[in-house]
Chains A and B, each alone.
Chain A
């Protein structure tokens, strides 16, 4: 039964009506009792089943320390699904899914548990026809990776000779360049590079792909998408919440590692890259890598970066604690909750255009957006009072919430006077396509099972991102305490001064 020679005569690439359907396979979930599994992964798997994207006989095996049997595990899944799934709970879909659920009890250091996992997988291959196709989702802390990967390897669970074996890992992919390389060494010891899927759930979001459609399927925007028209680009990811209960994770990590290294650099790459020859994963990745290779932070770092910590203040009508007062945070912590930096891209398209990236906790509102600000017209045939109300032309791609595209431009105010004022034209994806978009994890899990990697960053991209960020992190480590900013505001003074020096101002998103 060779997988390469077989071609299913019922599969027809022109038959777009049939759902993208995963082949026979088993997903093994490590860390099944964690938050991510309960809130996102398990509901996403049900939603996929509900769409008919999972084959009959699809296997889902949980692995955890908890003393459960398959039935208890299934009950837990059902509870997660009923609470978190996007699509309605349907008995017949659940019956189909539950027929492929099993649970293996054990700890990561217990060889017997992995032997039992092997037996269970062998049984699935026999009884469900899953053909040795196994995906291992490591929803566990990175410090356990080495142990788990080693156990998988030594029990023959990563043997690619019969079916495929894939590993799925979550960000953070290390905390600097050196640790990212170490992590890669561990995982690639057992899995070849094309079998490692790094999940950045941001990349599974519809709008990130919409960004590619927007740029490369339309004629209108590409002619102005360069230094001749664009004055500066601002990429923002702001959250209105604080660190909440995540002190243990957040302390020592901070905003730049948590958000800029992965999400914002990926958004930067998609915004700034050249057109790929095709949307093949290789072509797409090559363009992203090229633009990241040309990206550098501008010195002196004092002038072109800023960091901060939120202090006690009013956020949206509620008094919020300062970061240093949060439970589990060291009162002397230097971990930043606000990070901003300027990067420049050495290319013909972007030379001289600053890209400002910022991320904040306890900002006034939750928003992720990419804004291209345009230059002023070279000549204004209007008097100064007439254009007093005119701001800059801007094209904004809003990633969340309320995904959409906004344009700001000047329009004449009706009346006998010539007076021009800034207006906003807003396109909302949900207004035109109200079918709820698939949750990012649905898309990503299906892509893993199909072996379709265009949305997954590979090791080289991860390393390039760390290379850009490492000098900034080193600089901040030496610089001392981050500047305080009151909760509910758009960041510290230093961040505003950073743009003023360049002759710009942050957008108020």
Chain B
């Protein structure tokens, strides 16, 4: 770990190059990951980014914004243990306002750049300072208060390339529902989703509305032990399909004329989801369509019921 005080991008680059020459791994990197965080909340993000970086050798630039003490620019270059390099850059004052000028020289040539906001979200992600560095942006509205409001705001200004981890959280749910319908093979007439009024519940409901073209009802359900989406029901002509979370790792699946059976449905970790996102740098057309639909549909009149207050 090499700490550089009152530094600049050139010195950071030289340090990275020197560590490379000394044989601290790093070749075959596939992307630059920029993490935009604040001073008091960057540690979890750094750990998660590093873990994801073990699967996607990358240069991780951790931008720690809003440092006190005037015009600050310090950097900590971490020695790479795998092919991933990590530089934590503390910025304050005027320098913070021009943070992208610090990052631009440090991006790996030609390779994709991914911006991740682990726990905050600029008002205009696609046009903010970091948003201009790349078209591949990762947000997490579930990490924010009032995620339901947030996901609607994001839908209104959605651009291809932006993803929300609230959507990534639903992949396994969606796969199980798809598999269930493969077995039942019967037209769906309506659907129901239950859980706290969050971005995830809204997204899976909207997904069912667009894919199935049937009415979907939204209900509040909250279980202290098992936060998050509670259940999804599909009502088909052949009977009801019900997928319901019963523990942080299990759900039960009920299909018409079949015994209720356990299915694996572990809650996903941030690291797991980030890894999935970094695997897929080409955007997500299905999500683009969904956000488009959400922006057109707008909020439902009754969806404030059960929204977390904050």
On A, residues with C-beta under 8 Å from B are 1, 3, 6, 8-12, 14-19, 21, 23-24, 49-50, 52, 55-57, 90-93, 95-96, 99, 127-129, 131, 427-428, 431-435
Contacts and interface: CB of A to CB of B under 8 A. Distances in A.
B155 to A, nearest CB: 18
B260 to A, nearest CB: 10
A23 B261 CA distance: 17
Given A1-B185, A92-B250, A128-B258, A16 B280 contact: yes
Given A10-B212, A93-B264, A432-B28, A56 B176 contact: yes
A19 B286 contact: no
Contacts of A24: 179, 182-183
Interface stretch (B54-62, B71-79, B130-138): B54-62
B18 interface: no
Given A12-B286, A21-B178, A21-B179, A95 B211 contact: no
B108 to A, nearest CB: 12
A56 B171 CA distance: 15
A10 B178 contact: yes
Nearest to B27: A431
A90 B266 contact: yes
Interface in B66-89: 82-83
A123 to B, nearest CB: 12
Nearest to A99: B261
10 contacts: A8-B178, A8-B181, A10-B181, A52-B172, A55-B182, A57-B261, A92-B264, A96-B262, A431-B28, A434-B55
Given A92-B249, A92-B265, A432-B83, 18 more contacts: A8-B178, A10-B178, A14-B286, A16-B280, A17-B171, A17-B280, A24-B183, A55-B183, A56-B179, A56-B180, A56-B261, A96-B263, A96-B264, A128-B258, A428-B28, A431-B27, A431-B57, A434-B57
A17 B249 contact: no
Contacts, number: 125
Contacts of B295: none
A127 B259 contact: yes
B30 to A, nearest CB: 5
A131 B188 CA distance: 19
Given A10-B178, A55-B182, A428-B28, A92 B262 contact: yes
A10 B284 contact: no
Given A8-B178, A16-B280, A434 B54 contact: yes
Nearest to B212: A9
Nearest to B286: A15
Best-surrounded residue of A10, A16, A433 (most CB of chain B within 10 A): A10
A129 B183 contact: yes
B143 interface: no
Contacts of A427: 28
B181 A17 contact: no
A9 B249 contact: no
B30 A131 contact: no
A186 B286 CA distance: 46
B175 to A, nearest CB: 5
B253 interface: yes
B264 A95 contact: yes
B178 A18 contact: yes
Contacts of B44: none
Contacts of A431: 27-28, 57, 83
B235 to A, nearest CB: 14
Q: Which of B57, B253, B261 has the most CB of A within 10 A?
A: B261
A100 to B, nearest CB: 9
Contact of A99 (B27, B262, B276, B284): B262
Interface of B: 27-30, 54-57, 82-83, 168, 171-172, 174-185, 188, 211-213, 249-250, 253, 255, 257-259, 261-266, 275-276, 279-280, 284-287, 289
Contacts of B289: 14
Contacts of B180: 56
Contacts of A3: 185
A82 to B, nearest CB: 16
Contacts of A23: 179, 182
* 3 A-B pairs closest in CB distance: A431-B28, A15-B286, A432-B28
Contacts of B275: 435
B216 to A, nearest CB: 13
Contacts of A14: 285-286, 289
A172 to B, nearest CB: 36
Given A9-B211, A56-B179, A435 B55 contact: yes
Given A14-B285, A19-B175, A432 B30 contact: yes
Nearest to A93: B264
Given A10-B212, A52-B175, A91 B262 contact: no
Identify the interface centre among A14, A24, A92, A435: most chain B CB within 10 Å of its CB.
A92
A94 to B, nearest CB: 8
A96 B28 contact: no
Nearest to B252: A56
Contact of A92 (B183, B213, B259, B266): B266
Contacts of A16: 280, 284, 286
Contacts of A93: 264
Contacts of B183: 24, 55, 57, 129, 131
Contacts of B279: 435
Contacts of B280: 16-17
A432 B53 CA distance: 10
B57 A432 contact: yes
Nearest to B243: A56
B258 A57 contact: yes
A256 to B, nearest CB: 36
Given A1-B185, A18-B171, A434-B54, A95 B262 contact: yes
Contacts of A127: 258-259
A9 B54 CA distance: 37
A12 B208 CA distance: 12
A72 to B, nearest CB: 21
Contacts of B182: 8, 21, 23-24, 55
Contacts of A21: 175, 178-179, 182
Nearest to A15: B286
Contacts of A91: 249
Q: Which of A91, A128, A129 has the most CB of B within 10 A?
A: A129
A435 B257 CA distance: 40
B182 to A, nearest CB: 5
Contacts of B185: 1, 3, 6, 8
A129 B179 contact: no
A90 B285 CA distance: 32
A432 B29 contact: yes
A309 B180 CA distance: 56
A311 B71 CA distance: 74
B178 A11 contact: yes
B286 A434 contact: no
Nearest to A5: B185
Nearest to B289: A14
A23 B257 CA distance: 18
Contacts of A90: 249, 264, 266
B236 to A, nearest CB: 11
Nearest to B285: A14
Nearest to A129: B183
A81 to B, nearest CB: 14
B273 to A, nearest CB: 11
A429 to B, nearest CB: 8
